[in-house]
Amino acid sequence: MTVHIRKALEGMRSDIKNGIVINGDLTGIIWNTVEKMLNEADENRLKRVINGTGTILHTNLGRARLSKEAINRVAEVAVNYSNLEFEIESGTRGSRHDLVEDLIKQATGAEAAMVVNNNAAAVYFILKTFAKGKEVIVSRGQLVEIGGSFRISSIMEESGAKLVEVGTTNKTHVKDYSDALNDETAMLLKVHTSNFKTIGFTKTVSTEELVEIAGTRDEVMVYEDLGSGVLYDFAKEGIGEEPVVHKVLETGVDLVSFSGDKLLGGPQAGIIAGKKKYIDQLKKHQLARVLRVDKMSFAALEATFKAYLNQRHKDIPTVRDMLQSLEEVKEKAEEFSDAISGWNSFQAEIIREYSMVGGGTMPDVRIPTYVVKLNHEALAAHSLADKLRTGTPSVIVRTSGDSILLDFRTITRGELPDLIKAMERLTYRD
Ligand SMILES: *Cc1c(COP(=O)(O)O)cnc(C)c1O
């Protein structure tokens, strides 16, 4: 207790030195601060954060938020027993792989599908199962590194497959692939360049062309790592140019894989879809058990896929936030700035800005948004950002010059009261 009181006093002294005026009942304010510290000592390590950055799939902030329906389904199967590996019709043992396979097939048009822990696991699993000890041909322009040290070249080495690089960084031609084909070739791999763009003098080989090249030989498969893999056609709305999963599968590609918690907007998962003969082989592999997904993820995935199939894609927070109109964003920004307008500690201004998609997807896409640009009478932008970040709930903001920016694309109406309270704490009102 004494430690907390000392710490509270130290904090306030330093604030006063910085020129912050503390009005009101001093003892009350000190007690409030101490009480907050005591509560914090019992706080969870993994806790909620208000994402004011406008980056929709913020990798450090947990990527996709789940829909209400997905959360309800997670709670239901977590609290109760479930038919995770039980066939209710026949009363016999079932397979967890069957739970969402039909939904994935319907949503993507695939012959078969399965789910593993994440997309990185899917890439490893597919290479290990079909290309161990054999050659995999990849364009030099697609030897990508995804955040968290996941590199195509390293994961390939780990899987025991031999990487055969073809083409150059900016240009790869059909002939580069066909020249590299030989009896040792197991696979042509296409990797979505999720987190960067090559512009200018460039050429890539399409999935259709890869399918054609592989068709000239028996037993050479084509696999495309789609990265995010969208089910909703954002490109149609003028947002980016992510290929929709079912269109990619229509090319005749043997397998694709994509993340559950990027633009799909579901739980962390790696979804593998494509030809049944390959999916069957994967399901039988020893690694299927190693990489398997738990019941809560299945519950959340099921709800997420159902939302797409029932045209309720806007129930999925990631999709909703991507498609949110400027007016909707502005309304929230106005509600917030109205709420704090009487407080003389802050100066607020609503300005046009851009949100990013994040999560290593659509690196070149900037979605117009409204932000509240905030200045505090005494705190510099970085101190203001620090205080908001370390408060409860933690609020993460962008800084720009002397101001902080709060982007309301990633802040929901439901979060406004807590956000306003977080601001109120920086005014030392009691
Ligand atoms: C994000 C990404 C991965 C990894 O997916 P996780 O679900 O994060 O494991 C793999 N490949 C590509 C191209 C990606 O964009």
DSSP state of 135: E
Q: 193: CA distance to ligand 1 center in Å? A: 10
Q: 74: CA distance to ligand 1 center in Å? A: 24
Residues 83 and 168 in one domain: yes
Q: 428: CA distance to ligand 1 center in Å? A: 44
Residues 129 and 38 in one domain: no
Residues 275 and 335 in one domain: no
Residue 418: inside a domain: yes
Beta-strand relationship, 361-376 and 394-396: unpaired
Q: What is the dihedral of CA 189, 192, 193, 197, to 10 degrees?
A: 120
Q: Which ligand 1 atom is at minimum distance from the Cα of 270? A: 7
Q: 212: CA distance to ligand 1 center in Å? A: 26
Q: 172: CA distance to ligand 1 center in Å? A: 22
Q: 156: CA distance to ligand 1 center in Å? A: 14
- Domain boundary (270, 292, 315) is at 315
Tokens of 217: 């030989």
**Alpha-carbon distance 194 to 262, whole Å?**
11
- Alpha helices by DSSP H, 310-409: 317-323, 326-340, 381-390
For residue 207, CA distances in Å to 141, 217, 252, 263 come to 15, 16, 8, 21
Residue from 127, 152, 194 whose mutation best tests the ligand 1 pocket (most atoms within 8 A of CB)? 194
CB 346 within 8 A of CB 377: yes
Residue 275: inside a domain: yes
Residue 24: inside a domain: yes
Q: Which ligand 1 atom is at minimum distance from the Cα of 268? A: 7
Burial of 356 (0-12, 13-18, 19+ CB in 10 A): buried
Q: 260: CA distance to ligand 1 center in Å? A: 10
User: Residue 216 contacts by C-beta under 8 Å, 6 or more apart in sequence?
Assistant: 178, 181
Residue from 126, 150, 193 whose mutation best tests the ligand 1 pocket (most atoms within 8 A of CB)? 150
Residue from 126, 142, 146 whose mutation best tests the ligand 1 pocket (most atoms within 8 A of CB)? 146
Helix (H) or strand (E) holding 123: helix 119-131
- Domain boundary (291, 315, 339) is at 315
Tokens of 278: 């390959």
Residues 246 and 383 in one domain: no
Residues 203 and 304 in one domain: yes
Q: Which ligand 1 atom is at minimum distance from the Cα of 148? A: 8
Position of tokens 């407080």? Answer: 343
Q: Which ligand 1 atom is at minimum distance from the Cα of 193? A: 13
Residues 185 and 293 in one domain: yes
Looking at residue 188, its amino acid is L
pLDDT in tens, the chain (430 residues): 788 888 888 888 888 888 877 777 888 888 888 887 887 777 889 999 999 999 999 999 999 999 999 999 999 999 999 999 999 999 999 999 999 999 999 999 999 999 999 999 999 999 999 999 999 999 999 998 887 778 999 999 999 999 999 999 999 999 999 999 999 999 999 999 988 888 898 999 999 999 999 999 989 999 999 999 999 999 999 999 999 999 999 999 999 999 999 999 999 999 999 999 999 999 999 999 999 999 999 999 999 999 999 999 999 999 999 999 999 999 999 999 999 998 888 999 999 999 999 988 899 999 999 999 999 988 999 999 999 999 989 999 999 999 999 999 999 999 999 999 999 988 865 4
Q: What is the dihedral of CA 319, 320, 321, 322, to 10 degrees?
A: 50
- Domain boundary (297, 315, 333) is at 315
Q: What is the dihedral of CA 322, 325, 328, 329, to 10 degrees?
A: 60
CB 427 within 8 A of CB 25: no
**Considering only CA atoms, which residue is closest to atom 14 of ligand 1?**
227
Domain that holds residue 54: 49-60+321-424
Cis preceding-peptide flag for 393 (omega within 30 of 0): yes
Q: Which residues pair with 367 in a beta bridge?
A: 355
**Alpha-carbon distance 385 to 403, whole Å?**
9
Q: 250: CA distance to ligand 1 center in Å? A: 22
Summarised one tens digit per residue, pLDDT across range 349-369 is: 999 999 999 988 899 999 999
Residue 429: inside a domain: no
State how many domains the chain has. Answer: 3
Residue 430: inside a domain: no
Residues 238 and 277 in one domain: yes
Position of tokens 């050429």? Answer: 203
- Looking at residue 428, what is its pLDDT? 64
CB 330 within 8 A of CB 350: yes
Residues 255 and 219 in one domain: yes
**Considering only CA atoms, which residue is closest to atom 11 of ligand 1?**
227
- Looking at residue 430, what is its pLDDT? 45
Binding-site residues, ligand 1, Cβ < 6 A: 118-120, 123, 146, 150, 191-192, 194, 225, 227, 259, 270, 360
DSSP readout, 40-101?
HHT--SS--EEE-S--TB-GGGTSPPPPHHHHHHHHHHHHS---TTEETTTTEE--TTHHHH
CB 94 within 8 A of CB 83: yes
Q: 142: CA distance to ligand 1 center in Å? A: 13
Summarised one tens digit per residue, pLDDT across range 398-421 is: 999 999 999 999 999 999 999 999
**Considering only CA atoms, which residue is closest to atom 5 of ligand 1?**
119
Residue 389: inside a domain: yes
Beta-strand relationship, 185-191 and 135-139: parallel
CATH, residue 189: 3.40.640.10
**Alpha-carbon distance 143 to 147, whole Å?**
13
- Looking at residue 84, what is its pLDDT? 96
CB 413 within 8 A of CB 336: no
**Considering only CA atoms, which residue is closest to atom 2 of ligand 1?**
227
Residue 357: inside a domain: yes
pTM of the model: 0.91
- Looking at residue 429, what is its pLDDT? 53
Residues 36 and 73 in one domain: no
Q: 130: CA distance to ligand 1 center in Å? A: 19
Residues 388 and 291 in one domain: no
Residues 33 and 136 in one domain: no
CB 135 within 8 A of CB 105: no
Q: Which ligand 1 atom is at minimum distance from the Cα of 226? A: 13
Residues 304 and 233 in one domain: yes
Q: 194: CA distance to ligand 1 center in Å? A: 8
**Considering only CA atoms, which residue is closest to atom 15 of ligand 1?**
227
CATH, residue 339: 3.90.1150.180
**Considering only CA atoms, which residue is closest to atom 12 of ligand 1?**
227
Tokens of 86: 């039980």
**Cα Rg for the chain, rounded, in angstroms?**
25
